[in-house]
Amino acid sequence: MRRAALATSLLLTAALAPATARADTHGWWGQLGPVHATYWHFGFNEGAYTDGWSKRECLSFAAWAAQLRASLPVGVGVEIEDSTDTDEKVVVRLLRCRGTDPRCDHPRSRTVLRTPGLGKTLELDDRFAAGVLSAVAKATGQKLSLKPAPAPPLYTIQLLAAREQKRADELASRINKDRSYVHKGDYVFNANCGPCNNPPEAKIEAAKLEGATLHRVFVGNYESPRDARADLAELARLGYTDAFVRPL
């Protein structure tokens, strides 16, 4: 996928650039259906994304992208890029999707759109989404408006739910330190930084259940349970046989 290739390219650029150039980078990339977005900038930004993606940011991106997905014409996707490759300006590309490729991972064509008034920074708000849709409308000759859409359900792989925080911490630490598990499934949202290389895969979340606090260890964020299958199988191969897919 282009977004993964772009992230790899930017990480390599940061690693190879001279230290005096302050080549540290940080950013994120996400995809919900045919809506693709990438944000990647120079500057470490006080340790941004050293821990990788967060649930809050993932759900926020998905809710924003869902409106665009619901508003785009059939067979059309968008690729929004705000990165070092675009001189840190926003570039919007119109994607023509194949009928067998609803996520537009392999579009038939990419066309850069004119986006006057969109601004120089990718913003996950209604104004920015409406600006992208306006550019798509002009390019396709269709009358389009931003449609409200419910936040889509997302999924994750849970490995443990324990009352003892120590158990959760130990499991997450083992997964993140030995690096034997590296996800292969497509995430809805991911984040990284130039110095980080491989941010932690396992996350911990505390939640209340019948008055008790449970510490949940989970990995990944997926658009559908099907997208999680390969990673679930890999976790089972590594001995995490109690893992299962559940809503994020």
**Residues 115-150: tens digit of each pLDDT:** 988 888 999 999 999 999 999 999 999 999 999 999
Kind plus residue range of the DSSP H or E element containing 40: strand 35-42
What CATH number should be reported for the domain whose range is 155-247?
3.30.70.1070
> What does the domain layout of the chain look like in residue ranges?
2-140, 155-247
Separation CA 243–CA 191 (nearest Å) = 23
Q: What is the DSSP string of 142-193?
A: ----PPP-PPPP-EEEEEEEES-HHHHHHHHHHHHHH------SPPSEEEEE
Global pTM exceeds 0.85: yes
Q: Is 36 helix (H, G, I), strand (E, B) or coil?
A: strand
Separation CA 185–CA 235 (nearest Å) = 12
Question: Which one, of 173, 80, 68, lies nearest residue 130 by Cα?
Answer: 68
Please state the φ and ψ torsions of residue 161, each to the nearest 5 degrees.
Answer: -135, 110
| Token pair listed for 212 | 């008790």
pLDDT tens sequence across 54-113: 999 999 999 999 999 999 999 999 999 998 777 768 999 999 999 999 999 999 999 999
